């Protein structure tokens, strides 16, 4: 018998499996991790396939099995191949992407945690005799008596010199027991009774449990979507099947996780980047050992090795976090569709602001559309107001409009909570000399440096570059540096100045680097240790804070001003999601949106809370300009530290594409929106087409051509988020 093995050697130059002979002493199965000879060394690999014969000469033998537990199952092997085809990555990259770091091909460390117990090593009569005959060894006798009573005692609780004697005499022995780092044992919460509207959605999906079918649940924030997920998952588990629930990011999972634990107790494994390697290892073990039926996690949890899936649910399906922005550039929704197809099960996509692509498919009937129009209970949708910052600027109100200031004061007095959104971190987004006009820029990228006051440093948000701030202008040596462009750090200071009585907490990438920082901020805010939560778009995602009655958008234009065909959609979705944070229980919520673009269609539709109208207007624009969902896109970037190399190869690439593709619109090469990052010049070519299949082979060829070109690299992003 022969095995096809994928090895850790990660190069597109040798992107294939290797064949090894299976020695008769080893019981090899597909999905096992094995040790094989490779050149003069040994190397780890995964068995992907077993076959009866091979026509190759001089086939070497598999040396050993590293892990008899099947890490990859049959389904995941298919998913890996799908991932490779979909994103054009190598097979090794595909499998490495699917596994948590402790299980990757080249790893074989055991991260298990054990507790040592002491137990008796002889029958009771023997021990009793020993006790009677050795009364003078009081400490030993005490240990033995305790063990007779308690059966097993943690080793650390027992006096060690007497214990050693007992061990030597073989009266007791040590037993190791594996424990998981996350170990949930709690009372399970009772079911909520679904409302009529919820029940209807629930039954619709339940009736199609045994079909490959995609549902789009368009439900306003707070309409009880999560409770429907739970009900469906319970049913699936009762049928003896398993489920995956994806959420966009870790800051969210803490709240949803608590809820999952309350409903499913220890039957849940979690997978997200906030876990330590050992925690991830444990959670993965729970899945491999079939000890849990539900996996909750972020993007990569879509690769969880659950067998017998019964449903996949993707919450906040519009979130950009479901797409990985480095190689392999996959979208978890595509993987979910493929796994739903393999298992013949429903995929539920849900959002208060579905992506335009999903909504278009649902309105066309490709997906089954389900809606929840009402919030649960007495809670109603918030009252939204727009403030024209052009007028406010004339009154010198640059950060807080009069209206927002008054509302903040009002809510503080009423002891209600406030959320303020500003989508830029740092203190000021550019530092300029008022004397000579000098502006700090990143030496590696085409972008201004952001000033961070806490560390008194200037930082590039694209590369690692950072430097201490000078006290005077480095060019004209005048003491005239000024800090422009408001960031969250400065906003925090301004709030403290203007509302000294308010207790303020900031949540952005800078305040949430440490483990559990996000959870702490959220818990403290939920427990009313703060009046105001301010932060970047991190704070707009799905939280449920009952005391929040005011959401202020400091500057609605940050996302509008990014030149991209999705900027309207992003703005609409972000603002509507942020508004959804206001007034979640019995109090009415208010939202104030500050903008310099008060007549923009995205902002006006937020004001009317009109998703469908936004959808119609946006679809018209997409149709005219030929953008998704009317066409598919692929974005190709050609990068080099040498300007001419980048340009020449970009031109060659464009010619190659033009002569190999038909029925494809090829735009460019043109400079990428950030032309230089990390010292690399970047040109881009955009492809627009109607049929996904016609480009695949040409792109594969193109990718191969670039393997042999030095000092230039190519990045192919199929279905990019940004152009």
List residues binding ligand ADP (CB under 6 A): 192-195, 198, 219, 221-227, 376, 544
Q: How far is CA 665 from CA 627, 691, 696, in A?
A: 11, 12, 15
CB of 328 closer than 8 Å to CB of 93: yes
Q: Which is nearer to ligand ADP, 221 or 450 (CB)?
A: 221
Residue 396 CB-density burial (10 A; 0-12 exposed, 13-18 middle, 19+ buried):
exposed
**Residue 616 is encoded by which pair of tokens?**
């119609």
CB of 406 closer than 8 Å to CB of 611: no
Q: In what order do the strands lie in the sheet with 242-246?
A: 268-271, 294-297, 242-246, 309-314, 346-351, 213-219, 368-372
Q: State how far the Cα of 407 lies from the Cα of 293, in Å rounded to an integer.
A: 47
CB of 223 to Zn ion, least distance (A): 42
Q: Which of residues 188-227 bind Zn ion (CB under 5 A)?
A: none
CB of 460 to Zn ion, least distance (A): 3
CB atoms within 10 A of CB 644: 9
CB of 259 to ligand ADP, least distance (A): 8
Q: Which is nearer to Zn ion, 34 or 460 (CB)?
A: 460
* Residues contacting 688, CB < 8 A, separation 6+: 626, 627, 631, 632, 633, 664, 665, 667
3-state secondary structure of 335: helix
Q: Which stretch binds Zn ion (CB under 5 A): 464-472, 479-487, 496-504, 548-556?
A: 464-472
445 binds Zn ion (CB under 5 A): yes
Span between the terminal Cα atoms of the chain, in Å: 49
CB of 414 to ligand ADP, least distance (A): 22
* Continuous H helices in 189-249: 196-206, 225-238
CB of 363 to ligand ADP, least distance (A): 21
3-state secondary structure of 561: coil
Q: Which is nearer to ligand ADP, 227 or 717 (CB)?
A: 227
442 binds Zn ion (CB under 5 A): yes
Q: Which does 715 bind (CB under 5 to 8 A by kind): Zn ion, ligand ADP, none?
A: none
Q: Which does 720 bind (CB under 5 to 8 A by kind): Zn ion, ligand ADP, none?
A: none
Q: Shortest Cβ contact with Zn ion: which residue?
A: 460
Q: Which is nearer to ligand ADP, 253 or 343 (CB)?
A: 253
Binding Zn ion (rule: CB under 5 A), the pick from 36, 118, 216, 460 is 460
Exposed e or buried b per residue across 128-156, where buried means at least 16 C-beta atoms within 10 angstroms of its C-beta: eebbeeeeeeeebbebbeebeeeeebeee
Give which of 11, 44, 12 is closest to 20, Cα–Cα: 44
* Cis before 355? omega within 30: no
Q: Which is nearer to ligand ADP, 198 or 319 (CB)?
A: 198
CB of 304 closer than 8 Å to CB of 287: yes
How many H-runs (helices) and E-runs (strands) does the chain carry? 21, 30
CB of 194 to ligand ADP, least distance (A): 5
Q: Which stretch binds Zn ion (CB under 5 A): 63-71, 305-313, 434-442, 501-509?
A: 434-442
Q: Which does 465 bind (CB under 5 to 8 A by kind): Zn ion, ligand ADP, none?
A: Zn ion
Q: Which is nearer to ligand ADP, 172 or 578 (CB)?
A: 578
462 binds Zn ion (CB under 5 A): yes
Q: Which is nearer to ligand ADP, 316 or 334 (CB)?
A: 316
137 binds Zn ion (CB under 5 A): no
Sign, CA torsion 661/665/667/673 = negative
Binding Zn ion (rule: CB under 5 A), the pick from 137, 209, 465, 483 is 465
Pairing of strands 152-154, 172-179: unpaired
CB of 218 to ligand ADP, least distance (A): 11
Q: Which is nearer to Zn ion, 404 or 442 (CB)?
A: 442
Q: Which does 192 bind (CB under 5 to 8 A by kind): ligand ADP, Zn ion, none?
A: ligand ADP
Binding Zn ion (rule: CB under 5 A), the pick from 131, 194, 307, 463 is 463
CB of 451 to Zn ion, least distance (A): 14
**Residue 360 is encoded by which pair of tokens?**
């278009």
User: Which string of DSSP letters, residue by residue, matches 61-128?
Assistant: BP-EEEE-S-SS-HHHHHHHHHHHHHH---HHHHHHHHS-GGGSTT------EEEEEEEE-S-HHHHH
Q: Which is nearer to Zn ion, 460 or 602 (CB)?
A: 460
CB of 511 to Zn ion, least distance (A): 22
Q: Which does 198 bind (CB under 5 to 8 A by kind): ligand ADP, Zn ion, none?
A: ligand ADP
Q: Which does 227 bind (CB under 5 to 8 A by kind): Zn ion, ligand ADP, none?
A: ligand ADP
* Residues contacting 366, CB < 8 A, separation 6+: 214
Q: Which does 460 bind (CB under 5 to 8 A by kind): Zn ion, ligand ADP, none?
A: Zn ion
Q: Which is nearer to ligand ADP, 260 or 714 (CB)?
A: 260
CB of 359 to ligand ADP, least distance (A): 17
Q: Return residues touching Zn ion (CB under 5 A).
A: 442, 444-445, 460, 462-463, 465
């Amino acid at each position: 018998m022969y095995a096809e093995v994928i090895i850790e050697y990660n190069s597109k130059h040798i992107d294939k499996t290797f064949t090894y002979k299976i020695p008769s002493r080893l019981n090899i199965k597909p999905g096992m991790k094995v040790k094989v000879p490779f050149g003069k060394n040994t190397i780890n690999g995964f068995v992907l396939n077993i076959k009866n014969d091979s026509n190759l000469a001089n086939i070497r033998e598999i040396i050993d099995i590293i892990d008899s537990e099947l890490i990859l199952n049959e389904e995941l092997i298919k998913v890996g191949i799908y991932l490779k085809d979909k994103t054009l990555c190598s097979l090794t990259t595909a499998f490495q992407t699917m596994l948590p770091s402790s299980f990757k091909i080249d790893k074989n460390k055991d991260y298990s945690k054990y507790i040592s117990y002491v137990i008796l090593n002889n029958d009771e009569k023997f021990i009793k005799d020993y006790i009677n005959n050795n009364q003078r060894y009081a400490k030993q006798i005490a240990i033995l008596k305790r063990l007779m009573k308690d059966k097993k005692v943690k080793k650390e609780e027992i006096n060690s010199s007497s214990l050693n004697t007992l061990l030597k005499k073989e009266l007791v022995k040590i037993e190791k027991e594996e424990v998981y780092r996350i170990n949930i044992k709690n009372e399970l919460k009772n079911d909520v009774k679904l409302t009529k509207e919820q029940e209807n959605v629930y039954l619709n999906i339940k009736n199609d449990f045994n079909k490959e079918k995609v549902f789009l649940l368009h439900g306003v924030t707070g309409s009880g979507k999560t409770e429907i997920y739970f009900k469906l998952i319970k049913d699936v588990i009762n049928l003896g099947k398993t489920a995956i629930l994806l959420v966009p990011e870790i800051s969210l999972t803490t709240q949803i996780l608590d809820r999952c634990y309350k409903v499913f107790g220890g039957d849940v494994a979690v997978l997200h980047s906030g876990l330590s390697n050992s925690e991830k290892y444990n959670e993965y073990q729970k899945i491999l050992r079939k000890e849990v039926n539900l996996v909750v996690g972020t993007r990569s949890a879509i690769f969880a090795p659950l067998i017998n899936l019964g449903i996949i649910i993707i919450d906040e399906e519009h979130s950009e976090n479901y797409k990985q922005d480095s190689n392999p550039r996959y979208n978890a929704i595509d993987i979910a569709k493929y796994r739903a197809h393999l298992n013949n099960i429903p995929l539920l996509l849900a959002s208060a602001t579905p992506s335009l692509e999903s909504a278009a498919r649902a309105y066309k009937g490709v997906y089954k559309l389900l809606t929840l129009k009402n919030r649960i209970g007495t809670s109603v949708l918030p009252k939204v107001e727009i403030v024209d910052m052009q007028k406010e600027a004339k009154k010198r109100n640059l950060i807080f409009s009069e209206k927002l200031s008054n509302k903040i004061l009002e809510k503080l007095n009423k002891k209600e909570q406030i959320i303020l959104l500003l989508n830029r971190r740092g203190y000021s987004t550019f530092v300029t000399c008022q004397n000579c006009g000098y502006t700090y820029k990143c030496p590696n990228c085409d972008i201004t440096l952001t000033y961070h006051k806490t560390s008194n440093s200037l930082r590039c948000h694209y590369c690692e570059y950072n430097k201490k701030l000078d006290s005077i202008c480095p060019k004209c040596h005048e003491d005239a540096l000024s800090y422009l462009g408001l960031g969250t750090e400065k906003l925090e200071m301004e709030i403290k100045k203007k509302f000294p009585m308010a207790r303020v907490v900031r949540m952005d990438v800078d305040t949430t680097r440490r483990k559990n920082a996000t959870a702490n901020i959220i818990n403290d805010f939920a427990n009313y240790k703060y009046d105001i939560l301010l932060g970047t778009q991190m704070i707009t995602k799905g939280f449920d804070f009952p005391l929040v009655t005011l959401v202020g958008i400091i500057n609605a234009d940050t996302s509008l001003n990014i030149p991209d065909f999705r900027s309207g959609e992003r703005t609409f979705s972000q603002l509507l999601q942020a508004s959804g944070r206001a007034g979640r229980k019995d109090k009415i919520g208010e939202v104030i949106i500050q903008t310099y673009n008060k007549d923009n269609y995205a902002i006006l539709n937020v004001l009317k809370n009109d998703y469908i109208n936004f959808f119609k207007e946006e679809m018209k624009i997409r149709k005219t300009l030929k953008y998704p969902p009317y066409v598919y896109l692929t974005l190709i970037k050609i990068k080099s530290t040498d300007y001419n190399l980048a340009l020449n190869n970009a031109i060659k690439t464009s010619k190659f594409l033009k002569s190999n593709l038909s029925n494809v619109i090829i735009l460019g090469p043109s400079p990428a929106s950030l032309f230089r990052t990390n010292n690399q010049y970047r040109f881009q070519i955009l492809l627009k087409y109607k049929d996904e299949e016609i480009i695949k082979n040409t792109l594969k060829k193109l990718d191969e051509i670039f393997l042999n070109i030095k000092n230039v690299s190519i990045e192919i992003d199929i279905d990019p988020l940004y152009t």
